[in-house]
A and B are shown apart, each in its own frame.
Chain A
Amino acid sequence: MVRDVTRRRFVKIGSAGTVISLAGCTTTEDPENAGGGGGGNGDDDTATDTDGGNGGGGNQDPIPIGSLFPLTGFWSENGTAIRDAVQFTVDEINDAGGPLGRPLEHIDSDNEGADAQVAVQRMNQMVSQDGIVGHIGPTSGTLPAVKNIVEENEVVAISPAAGTHQLWREGPPWWWRTVADDFLETFAVVKAVQDLGAESAAIIGVENQASKSINTQIENIAADAGLDITTTVLLPTGQSSASSTTSQALSTEPDKLILTCENGQVPSILETMLQNGYDSSDALITSEARSPDTFNQVSDPQIIEGAWSMSASADTESEKYQNWAERFKSTTGVDNVHSFAPPAFDATNVLALAIHAADSTAGADIADQMRPITNSPGKKVSTFEAGRDALDNGEDINYDGITGPINFDEYGNVSGSFAVYQATESEWQVDHIIGPQAVRDFQDSIGS
C-alpha cells in the first residue's frame, strides 16, 4: 500500500490534466493573425507584424534581436567580444533611426561556456519570451543544439563565429554566416606554410571530428600544392600534455608544425619544440587551436614569441577597416579589435538592413531580403544608415562589409580574408592578410 500516491489521487490528477487539455482546445488560431506576436516580454506585442512602410507607420516598439554566446566560462573571451561588437553596431543603427524607424533591442544571452543544454534553454527563452525576430550567432559548438528551435520558429540566424564546415549543410532561409568557412582556411594554411619557406610539415591535431576533417583537407591540398606532410598525429581531447606526441611528429623532421589541436595543448607543444631544437616560429597555429589565453598559459613568454597563427579576419590593411576600427576603439574603449568583431558588425548590419528592406519583422520576409541586399549589383554601402537611405530612395543596395564583400552563396556562406599573425611576448600581431582573391588564385594554381 502506498501512502502518498493513492489510486484516487492518481485519478484526480489525471482528470485535472484532461480538463486543462480540453480547455486548451477552446480557441485555436494563429496568434499573429489575432493581433499577437512572437512574444515580447510576456505581454501584448507586435514583434512579428508587418509595418505600414519604411519609417514605422507609428509603431515605435523596439525590435528584439538576440545573440547567444559564451559570456562566462570557456570561450568567454570570444563571446564577450562578439556581444560587445553587436551592441556597438546596434547602438550605431539606433542612432541612425533603426530599421523601420524603430530601435533595435539587443538581447544577449550566455550559454555558460558553450553548454548545449544551457544554449537550448536560453534560445527558447529568447524566442518564446523575448520574441526575437533575428539572431546573431551562435558558435559551432552550440549550433546543432539550437538548430531546430531556430528553424521551427522561423528566426533568421546570422553567425559571425561558426566557421565549421560540416555544420553548414542547411543554409538559407534560416542559417547564414559572415565568417569564412574552415574549408577555405585550409587553403590559406597550406599557402601560408609555403610562403614561410617550408617544403614539409607535420600536423598535430586532436581526436575529434572537426580536427580530423581539417587534417584530411590539409593533407589533400598539400598533396596538390607539393607540400610534403611528413605525419599527422592526434592528441586525446582534453589532454594538455603533448610532449610525447609532439616528439613523435618532430622525429619525422618537418620544416613546420601545423597545429589543429585544442588551444590548451599549444603550450606543451611549443615547449617540446624548443626542447627538440625547433623554434616557436616553426609552428603555425590554426584558428582551431588559436587563443589569446595561450599567452597566459605558457610558463615563459619566450616560448610563444615568434609563433605564427591564423584566423578568419577582415582585411585589416584596408582603409575601410582602419576607419571602422578607429570608430570602434574610440566608442568601446578597447585597445585591440577581436577578430570576431568585424563579422559581428557585418552580421548585425545585414540583419537590420534585411528587416528594413522587408518592411516587416516576420522571419520569412527578412530571409527573403538577405540576398537582394547583399548580392545584387546595387549601390555599395558599408553602414546601416547609408543602406537604409538608399533603400528609402528606392535604390538597390549591395552591402560591402568590414570583413569584405558579403556575397552569400547557395549555402549562406561568404568568402573572406585570413590574417596571418605572429606572436610577440604578449599578443598576436597581424603580419599579413591573405584575401579572398589570393585564396582563389592559390586554388587555381594547384588546380583544386
Chain B
Amino acid sequence: MINLNFWLDMAIVVGIYGILVLGLNLHWGYTGLLNFGHVGFFMVGAYASALVTLAPQDASVEVLFALDQPIVLGMIASIVFAGVAGLLIALPAIRLGEIALALLTLAFASLIHSLITGEEWLAGGTYGLSNLQKPFGDLIGTSVVLPLPGGLPSVYVNLWSVVYLGVVLGLLLGTYVLIERLGSSPFGRVLKGIREDEEVVEIFGKRTSKFKIYSFVIGAGIAGLSGSLWAHYTGAITPNAFLPTVTFTAWVAMILGGSGNNRGVLIGAFVLFGSRTMTYFVPDIPGYPNLIPTLRLVIIGVILIALMQWKPEGLFSEQPPAHLE
C-alpha cells in the first residue's frame, strides 16, 4: 500500500503559494509595481481569518477579538483586511514612484511582523494563535484506501487532505481565471501599458495612479486569501511563519516561471517547491551531516542564476496578445 499523504501536503502548499504568487504577478508581472513586502499581506490575511474564525475559549491568551465565525467569513475577512492594508500603502506610495513603493512595502511587512510579535493582546504575540478551525474538520484522521487496477499496489490518503486540496485548487483556479480575465480586459491592457511605459498611457488620458491602486489592492487581497488558506491548513500560526523568505520565495517562483504569464508563475511555484522538496530525499553524506541541508538553498540559487543566464524571461515568457502577433 502506497502512502500519498506527503504528496498531498506538498500539493496543498504549492497551491497556496500558487495563489500568493498570482497576487504578486498582478503587481509586478502585469503592472510593474515593486512589492518587496508581499509576506505582509499574506500575514494580515492569515491573522484576519484566524481571529474571525477562532472561538474565544480556544485562544490561549486574550486577543483583540475572536469571533467564532465560519471559515468562509474568515476567508472573506482575509481578502478585505489585506486589501485595505494594500490600499493604505498604495495611496501615499503609488504617486511617489516605484522605489518609494518598494521601500514602503518592505517597511510594512517588517512593521506588521514586529507589531504582531510584540503585542500579545493583538493576536497572541510570539507564540501566535493555535486551535484554529479547519474546514471539514470531522474528516481529520479518516483515511481512504484506493485500490488500483492491473495488480498495482493500492494507495491510501487522508480524506481531509484530499478535501482541503480540492478547496485550495478550486480557489487557485478561481484566482487564475480572475486574473486571466482581468489581464485580457481593457483594465488589464492599461495595467500592462503602465508596466511598459506609464507616460504613454497617461497621454491616452488614463489616470494611471488609479489603475495602479486597483491592481495593488486586488493583488494584496489575493495574498490575504492565500494567508487564510495557510492558517486553516496548519491550524496554528506564529509570526515566524511570515518571514521575508516568503516574499523571496514568491519572487523566485514568479521569475522562474516567467513574470506576466500566470501559467508560467504557477509552474515556477511547482518547480521551485518540487526541486526544494526533492533535496530532502538526498541522503546525508556520512561524516558531513550538515552538507546537504546547507547546499539546499545553494542548489536553488544556482538554478536561478543559470536561468537568469540562459533564459532571463523565465521558463515561460509572457506571450504577446494574438492581435499583435
Q: What is the interface of chain A, defined by CB distance below 8 A to chain B?
A: 1-5, 10, 13, 17, 21, 23-31, 34-36, 39-40, 42-45, 71-72, 76, 80, 83-84, 108-110, 112, 114-117, 120-122, 124-125, 128-129, 131, 140-142, 144-149, 152, 164, 166-167, 169, 207-210, 212, 236-238
Q: Are A152 and B140 in contact (CB under 8 A)?
A: yes
9 closest A-B pairs by beta carbon, nearest first, are A116-B241, A148-B235, A129-B6, A128-B5, A209-B125, A128-B6, A110-B293, A124-B9, A209-B126
Q: In whole angstroms, what is the CA distance A38 to B177 when docked?
A: 38
B275 at the interface (CB under 8 A from A): no
With the chains together, A27 CA to B117 CA distance in Å?
45
Asked if residues B238 and A125 are in contact (CB atoms below 8 Å), the reply is no
Residues of A within 8 Å of B240, CB to CB, are: 114-116, 141-142, 145
- Report Cα–Cα, A135/B293, bound state, in Å: 19
B150 interface hit (Cβ, 8 Å): no
23 pairs, CB–CB < 8 Å, chain A vs chain B? A2-B184, A4-B263, A5-B177, A21-B162, A24-B144, A24-B157, A27-B145, A27-B147, A29-B145, A31-B143, A72-B297, A76-B290, A114-B240, A115-B240, A116-B240, A121-B10, A129-B3, A141-B240, A144-B130, A144-B236, A145-B241, A147-B130, A169-B60
CA of A375 to CA of B142 in the docked complex: distance in angstroms?
34
Residues of A within 8 A of B130 (CB): 144, 147-148
A114 cross-chain contacts in B, Cβ below 8 A: 240
Interface size of B in residues (CB-CB distance below 8 Å): 66
Say whether, besides A117-B241, A144-B127, A83 and B181 are in contact (CB < 8 Å): no
B146 in contact (CB, < 8 A): yes
Most buried by A among B127, B176, B180, B245: B127
B171 interface hit (Cβ, 8 Å): no
Q: How far is the CA of A10 from the CA of B293 in the complex (A)?
A: 41
**Given A152-B141, A167-B127: A26 and B236 interface contact (C-beta under 8 Å):** no
Q: When chains A and B are docked, how far (Å) is the Cα of A80 from the Cα of B246?
A: 24
What is the bound-complex CA distance between A76 and B294, given in angstroms?
11
Q: Are A24 and B162 in contact (CB under 8 A)?
A: yes
Bound-state CA distance A179–B240 (Å) is 23
Using known A-B contacts A116-B238, A120-B241, A144-B238, determine if residue A34 contacts B184 with beta carbons closer than 8 Å: no
Q: Which residues of A contact B177 (CB under 8 A)?
A: 2, 5, 10
Contact between chains at B289 and A208 (CB < 8 Å):
no
**Complex alpha-carbon distance, A192 and B52, angstroms:** 45
B217-246 near A? 1/0 per residue, CB < 8 Å:
000000000000010001111101101011
Residues A36 and B1 in contact, CB atoms below 8 Å apart: yes
CB–CB B3/A42 < 8 A? yes
Most buried by A among B143, B240, B294: B240
Q: Does B302 contact A (CB under 8 A)?
A: no
The smallest C-beta distance from A147 to any residue of chain B, in angstroms, reads 5
Q: Which of B8, B61, B153, B290 contacts A80 (CB 8 A)?
A: B290
B2 at the interface (CB under 8 A from A): yes
Q: How far is the CB of A437 from chain B (nearest CB, A)?
A: 31
> Which of A13, A39, A112, A120 counts the most B-chain CB atoms under 10 A from its CB?
A120
Does residue B166 face the partner (Cβ distance < 8 Å to A)?
yes
Query: In the assembly, what is the distance between CA of A152 and CA of B160, in Å?
Result: 11
Contact present for A121 and B9 (CB under 8 Å): yes
Asked if B162 and A26 make an inter-chain contact with CB atoms under 8 angstroms apart, the answer reads no
A131 adjacent to B118 (CB under 8 Å)? no
Chain B nearest CB from A48 CB (Å) reads 12
User: Most B CB atoms within 10 A — which of A25, A80, A124?
Assistant: A124
Contacts of A146 in B (CB 8 A): 236
Residue B136 CB within 8 A of the other chain: no
**A115 lies within 8 A of B245 (CB):** yes
Chain A residues with Cβ under 8 A from B88's Cβ? Answer: none
**Residue from A3, A24, A141, A210 within 8 A of B184 (CB atoms):** A3
Neighbouring A residues of B245 by C-beta, 8 Å: 115, 117
B119 to chain A, nearest CB (A): 9
Contacts of A237 in B (CB 8 A): 114, 117-118
CA–CA, A2 and B176, complex, Å? 11
Indicate the member of A27, A114, A117, A164 with the most B CB atoms within 10 Å. Answer: A117
A245 to B: closest C-beta gap in Å: 15
Does B169 have its Cβ within 8 Å of any Cβ on chain A? Answer: yes
What is the CB-to-nearest-CB distance from B149 to chain A, in angstroms, rounded to a whole number?
Answer: 11
Q: How many Å lie between the Cα of A429 and that of B166 in the bound state?
A: 56
Taking each of B245, B277, B284, which has the highest tally of chain A beta carbons within 10 Å of its own beta carbon? B245
Tell me whether B117 and A40 are in contact (CB under 8 A). Answer: no
- How far apart sit A407 and B230, CA to CA, in the bound complex (Å)? 38
Say yes or no for B68: interface residue by CB 8 A criterion: no
Residue pair B5, A129 in contact (C-beta under 8 Å): yes
Q: Tell me if B198 is interfacial: C-beta within 8 Å of chain A.
A: no
Cβ of B246: which chain A residues have Cβ within 8 Å of it?
A: 117
* Distance, CA A167 to CA B128, complexed state (A): 10
A199 to B206, CA, bound (A): 72
Report the separation of the CA atoms of residues A385 and B20 in the bound assembly, to the nearest whole angstrom: 51
Contact check: which of B143, B234, B284 meets A145 at CB < 8 Å? B234
- Given the known inter-chain contacts A120-B234, A145-B236, please indicate yes or no for A208 contacting B125, CB distance below 8 A: yes
Is B324's CB within 8 Å of the partner chain A?
no
Contact check, B294 vs A72: say whether CB atoms are below 8 A apart.
yes
Q: Provide the bound-state CA to CA distance between A34 and B157, in Å.
A: 13
Q: Kindly identify which residue among A2, A21, A125, A236 contacts B181, using a CB–CB cutoff of 8 Å.
A: A2
Q: Which of A44, A108, A128, A142 contacts B153 (CB 8 A)?
A: A44
Give the distance in Å from the alpha carbon of A373 to the alpha carbon of B242 in the complex.
40
Q: In the complex, given contacts A5-B176, A125-B6, what are 14 additional A-B residue pairs having Cβ atoms less than 8 angstroms apart?
A: A13-B173, A24-B157, A27-B145, A43-B2, A44-B1, A108-B289, A117-B230, A121-B13, A129-B5, A144-B238, A145-B128, A147-B235, A207-B118, A209-B117
